[in-house]
Amino acid sequence: MSPRARRLALPVLALVIGFVALGTAIYVTLLPRGGSTVSIGGPFALVAGDGKTVTDRDLRGAPYLVFFGFTHCPDVCPTKLFQLSEVFRAMGDRGRDVRALFITVDPERDTPEIMKSYVSSFDPRIIGLTGDPAAIDKVTRDFRAYAKKVPTKDGDYTMEHTSLVYLMGKDGRFIGAFNLERPPEEAAKDLLQRI
């Protein structure tokens, strides 16, 4: 295999794995089982960049968005967080109470300080959350999200993860997947209708 082909193989493989993970996440997240509604979300207590605990109860009263990712993510995470920032910008002051949670799937590297620094590049209504591995595993399972550690050839690792954005209602219950693949003004209008 030529050096050029090797350089292209990793991004192509990552893209294919991402699409498989997305398809699996959508299937697992949105498909009702046994004729009943799937429970998505639940109680959590995670740590924000300022070291304070944030719980699901702290977010009650306004809809909020949840996105799972990690700070070493090369493309999907910064893109989604930028899209969320654009939606918040488009909502303006009317969306001042709406929050988005960026929950790490890589608690080994994503400390509260690193999460705080990372999300500071985006809208301040985006809250970076981390926790111990058990807490992250629980919230990931409760949201029926997907996350898997994948070793790389250089001895490091990356994370495969769900790229779905979850929309949670004022009561903390799952409403559905929130589509960011549209103009920010359209997504903002949709979100504002839920306030």
Question: Which of 23-27, 110-114, 170-174: highest mean pLDDT?
Answer: 110-114
For position 195, what pLDDT does the model report?
74
For position 33, what pLDDT does the model report?
40
What is the crossing angle of helices 76-91 and 184-192, to 10°? 60
* Spatial distance between the Cα atoms of 79 and 4, rounded to a whole number of angstroms: 26
* Spatial distance between the Cα atoms of 116 and 107, rounded to a whole number of angstroms: 13
Mean pLDDT of the chain: 87
Q: Is the pLDDT of residue 35 over 70?
A: no
What is the average per-residue pLDDT within 16-43?
57
For position 194, what pLDDT does the model report?
80
pLDDT digits (tens, 9 = 90+) for 100-147: 999 999 999 999 999 999 999 999 999 999 999 999 999 999 999 999
Q: Which of 18-27, 60-69, 125-134, 179-188 has the lowest mean pLDDT?
A: 18-27
Q: Is residue 48 a known part of a binding site?
A: no
**CA distance to 67, 73, 116, per residue, from 52 (Å):** 19, 24, 12
Q: Is residue 77 a known part of a binding site?
A: yes
Within a 10 A sphere around the Cβ of 9, how many other Cβ atoms?
A: 11
Q: Is residue 72 a known part of a binding site?
A: no
pLDDT digits (tens, 9 = 90+) for 45-58: 999 999 999 999 99
CA atoms within 13 A on the CB side of 109: 13
Strands (E) located in the chain: 45-48, 53-55, 64-69, 99-104, 126-130, 147-151, 157-161, 165-168, 174-177
Q: Do 41 and 166 form a contact (C-beta atoms < 8 A)? A: yes
Q: Is the pLDDT of residue 14 over 90?
A: no
For position 15, what pLDDT does the model report?
54
Q: Do 47 and 54 form a contact (C-beta atoms < 8 A)? A: yes
Domains along the chain?
Answer: 3-192 (3.40.30.10)
What is the average per-residue pLDDT within 2-13?
58
What is the average per-residue pLDDT within 83-103?
96
* Spatial distance between the Cα atoms of 149 and 157, rounded to a whole number of angstroms: 7
